[in-house]
Amino acid sequence: MRVHLCAVGRLRSGPERDLVADYVQRFDRAGRALSLGPFTEHEVEDKRGGGMATEAELLSRAIPSGALIAVLDERGRVMSSPEFADQLATWRDGGRQDVAFVIGGADGIAPALRDRADFALSFGRMVWPHMLVRVMLAEQLYRAASILAGAPYHRA
């Protein structure tokens, strides 16, 4: 199952980019044997300042056709890491070819796109900067692959 990150904004070089790159590389390596991956980033930018509606349109175009849409949203489901791993395995085992994790801009995801989502995931009730959410998602994907592979990375 291919994993896509569709996000508003460009992640420039720096500590967040380095962390995402590291965890994506680990996920791609660990996930290959599990039929998870590869991981692909699709970054969009609203250069005209059209707001959430324009961002949603750009994100919609970035989501691969037929992909399961999983939005990252504070109103989404809070899961443990093993539950997240099980969810990925369920999607994969259910025949999903693609899953697209969608991260909105500073104002979040437009309600119309949020309503189209098949799944909403939250990293807690706190609001996180969208660039940091990328790091958190990349780490959790690697952790999920490690859990599914029975590797010792996750110790809970």
Task: Compute the radius of gyration of the chain from its Cα atoms.
Answer: 15
Surface-to-core class of residue 94, CB atoms within 10 Å of its CB (0-12 exposed, 13-18 middle, 19+ buried): exposed
Residue 84 forms part of a structural domain: yes
Rounded to the nearest integer, the mean pLDDT of the chain is 95
Distance CA 129, CA 98 (A): 25
Residue 26 forms part of a structural domain: yes
Domain that holds residue 55: 2-149
Residue 156 forms part of a structural domain: no
DSSP string, 94-155: TT-SEEEEEE-BTTB--HHHHHH-SEEEES-SS---HHHHHHHHHHHHHHHHHHHHT-TT--
**CATH code of the domain in which 8 resides:** 3.40.1280.10
How confident is the model over 38-67, as pLDDT tens digits?
999 999 998 888 899 999 999 999 999 999
Residue 155 forms part of a structural domain: no
Residue 138 forms part of a structural domain: yes
Plot region of 21 (φ>0 → left; ψ -120 to 50 → alpha; else → beta): alpha
Please report, as a single letter, which amino acid is at residue 61. R
Residue 85 forms part of a structural domain: yes
Distance CA 19, CA 39 (A): 14
Total domains in the chain come to 1
Q: Bridge-partner residues for 2, per DSSP?
A: 98
**What is the predicted pLDDT for the residue at 133?**
95
How confident is the model over 89-131, as pLDDT tens digits?
999 999 999 999 999 998 899 999 999 999 999 999 888 888 8
Residue 6 forms part of a structural domain: yes
Residue 154 forms part of a structural domain: no
